[in-house]
């Protein structure tokens, strides 16, 4: 496995170098293979960190798949820094930013003016992001994108002129996600446009008005490609990407058979909360017919539908995990999910799992709309892909929904969330649920336990299932 990862990393580094060389050459810069190879190594080594599941080399290659040299370069760097995923800034990249940023009580802060070196390139990057000395950098307000853009600028300063670097930085700034309009009604793109005009005048790039506008339109194009999965035609494909994001922010999930019931539930809760916070208009940007009106409207419509499916899907899974968690508290606290539901199968080894002991039933309450139909299919048949820490279908959620329907599931989810908050006891929550459902799931868990007893006596597990 290690050799396979090393081989893939080497392939990615070669691919990254090819894109760097091509883009710099297209822009008439100094395409020094030795220098750019070091940059390619920096990018790929960082993007293949142990906690990267979505923000990987493949993602940056996809975002940069446009044929535009500026977009290719911006895509390669735009996710280089991801503090909350990587649990800090790696040694490899810290040298590029330590002269400009320091850490104070766990927060990254731009140094004050007396500490900052005289560096016009840094000043330009900070200006395009709207940052000033002593600003506290916040993870949800451009911290990662700013630091990524700064590393891009310093990595490319010997290869490209300041005007081209400013365009790369503008693209990375546009990837700061989920921003609303300002109090004066300006969109993130409008604000970037104003800062580009100021930088153009101050640094003498020589752009005319249409060129400045084009820089913003290109930035919007790249930013929208960065989040295009929100508007995938298939909700299952959208949820596949969501499931790749979960272990980036909950590292316990990487230990497939040891994460706890409550840990898994907390991950689902955070994601469900995020899906309810998010509005389609915060996902995709627009600036002067980029994208065209009909394309933008389609992106918004698809995103709205995917969010609705995701909310109901995550709610259904939360209800099922609530039943499992409430039952687990009869054994103790912090019980591994695998203890209750059986381990995930690995290396062809057959193991007893809860789903083996749940009866197949038909839907008792017909789905009332196409969203419910999609979610029923997703929990029963599964998302598009399995993940390393979870199966793609949801047997317990399927059994519950087929037993009581979506309307009753929504009602019980309210009680489940009270249980999560601690305002409802585990037994009170279980008492509010359908008795047959709880008894059937309980019996299934007991059969998982029984299969382990049989296995310990030396009888093959297969014969007990």
What percent of the chain has pLDDT above 90? 68
Q: Give the single-character DSSP code of 170.
A: H
Is residue 169's pLDDT more than 70?
Answer: yes
Mean pLDDT throughout 303-325?
96
Count each helix (H run) and each strand (E run) in the chain, helices first: 20, 2
Q: What is the pLDDT of residues 93-118, one digit of tens each?
A: 888 999 999 999 889 999 999 999 99
DSSP sequence for 46-105: HHT-TT-SSSSHHHHHHHTTTS-HHHHHHHHHTTS--HHHHTS--HHHHHHHTTTEEEET
The domain locations on the chain are 2-226, 234-464
The contacts found for 291-297 with CB under 8 angstroms, 24 or more apart, are 291/220, 291/221, 291/224
Give yes or no for residue 265 having a pLDDT over 60. yes
Tokens linked to 399: 């059994």
Backbone angles phi, psi at 143, to 5 degrees: -55, -55
- Partners of 349 in beta bridges: 346
Report the phi/psi class of residue 20: left, alpha or beta, with left for phi > 0 and alpha for psi in -120 to 50: alpha
Confidence of residue 47 (pLDDT cuts 50, 70, 90): confident
DSSP state at residue 260: B
| pLDDT for the residue 333 | 86
The CA-CA-CA angle for residues 296, 300, 304, to 5°, reads 170
Which helix (H) or strand (E) is 406 found in, with range? helix 395-421
Mean pLDDT over the full length of the chain:
89
pLDDT digit string (tens) for 341-398? 988 765 556 678 898 899 999 988 999 999 999 999 999 988 766 665 567 789 999 9
Sequence length of the chain is 465
Output 243 or 260, whichever has higher pLDDT. 260
Cα 178 from chain centre: 13
Residue 342: predicted pLDDT: 85
The reported pLDDT for the residue numbered 110 is 96
Residue 95: what pLDDT? 87
Query: Phi then psi for 53, rounded to 5 degrees?
Result: -120, -30
pLDDT of residue 1: 43
pLDDT band at 330 (very low <50, low <70, confident <90, very high): very high
State yes or no: pLDDT of 464 exceeds 50. no
Q: Cis check for the bond before 291: say yes or no (omega within 30 of 0).
A: yes
What are the angstrom distances between the C-alpha of 425 and each of 64, 101, 333?
Answer: 50, 47, 13
Q: What is the distance between the alpha carbons of residues 176 and 129, in angstroms, rounded to a whole number?
A: 10
Q: Which tens digits make up the pLDDT trace of 413-458?
A: 999 999 999 999 999 999 999 999 999 999 999 999 998 888 888 7
**pLDDT given for residue 66 in this prediction:** 79
The answer to whether the CB of 79 falls within 8 A of the CB of 235 is no
pLDDT at residue number 3 = 44
Mean pLDDT, residues 276-283: 93
């Amino acid at each position: 496995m290690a050799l396979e990862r090393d081989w893939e990393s080497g392939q990615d580094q070669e691919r990254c170098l090819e894109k760097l060389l091509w883009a710099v050459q297209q822009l008439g810069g100094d395409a020094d293979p030795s220098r750019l190879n070091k940059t390619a190594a920096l990018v790929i080594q960082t993007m293949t960190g142990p906690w990267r599941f979505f923000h990987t080399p493949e993602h940056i290659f996809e975002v940069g798949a446009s044929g535009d040299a500026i977009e290719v370069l911006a895509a390669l760097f735009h996710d280089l820094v991801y503090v909350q995923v990587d649990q800090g800034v790696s040694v490899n990249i810290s040298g590029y930013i330590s002269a400009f940023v320091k850490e104070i009580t766990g927060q990254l802060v731009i140094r004050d003016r007396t500490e900052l070196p005289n560096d016009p390139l840094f000043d330009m990057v900070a200006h395009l992001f709207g940052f000033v000395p002593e600003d506290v950098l916040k993870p949800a307000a451009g911290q990662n994108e700013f630091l990524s853009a700064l590393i891009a600028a310093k990595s490319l300063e010997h290869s490209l002129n300041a005007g081209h670097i400013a365009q790369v930085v503008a693209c990375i700034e546009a990837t700061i996600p989920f921003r609303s309009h300002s109090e004066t009604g300006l969109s993130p793109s409008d604000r970037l446009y104003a800062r580009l005009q100021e930088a153009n005048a101050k640094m003498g790039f020589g752009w005319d008005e249409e060129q400045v506008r084009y820089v913003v339109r290109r930035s919007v194009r790249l930013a929208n490609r960065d989040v295009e999965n929100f508007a995938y035609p298939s909700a299952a494909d959208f949820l596949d990407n969501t499931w790749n994001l979960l272990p980036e922010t909950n590292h316990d999930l990487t230990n497939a058979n040891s994460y706890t019931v409550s840990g898994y539930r907390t991950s689902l809760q955070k994601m469900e909360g995020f899906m309810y916070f998010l509005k389609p208009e915060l996902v995709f940007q627009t600036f002067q017919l980029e994208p065209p009106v009909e394309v933008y409207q389609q992106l918004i419509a698809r995103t709205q539908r995917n969010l609705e499916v995701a909310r109901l899907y995550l709610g259904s899974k939360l209800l099922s995990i609530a039943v499992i968690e409430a039952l687990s508290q009869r054994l103790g606290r912090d019980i591994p999910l695998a203890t209750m539901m059986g381990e995930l199968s690995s290396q062809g080894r057959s193991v007893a799992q809860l789903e083996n002991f749940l009866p197949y039933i038909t839907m008792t309450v017909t789905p009332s709309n196409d969203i419910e139909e999609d979610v029923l299919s997703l929990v029963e048949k599964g998302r598009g892909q399995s993940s390393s820490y979870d199966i793609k279908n949801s047997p317990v959620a399927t059994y519950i929904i087929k037993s009581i329907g979506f309307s009753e599931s929504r009602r019980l989810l309210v009680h489940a969330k009270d249980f999560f908050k601690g305002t409802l006891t585990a037994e009170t929550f279980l008492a509010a649920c359908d008795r047959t459902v709880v008894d059937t799931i309980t019996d299934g868990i007991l059969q998982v336990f029984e299969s382990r007893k049989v296995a310990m006596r030396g009888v093959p597990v297969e014969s007990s299932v």
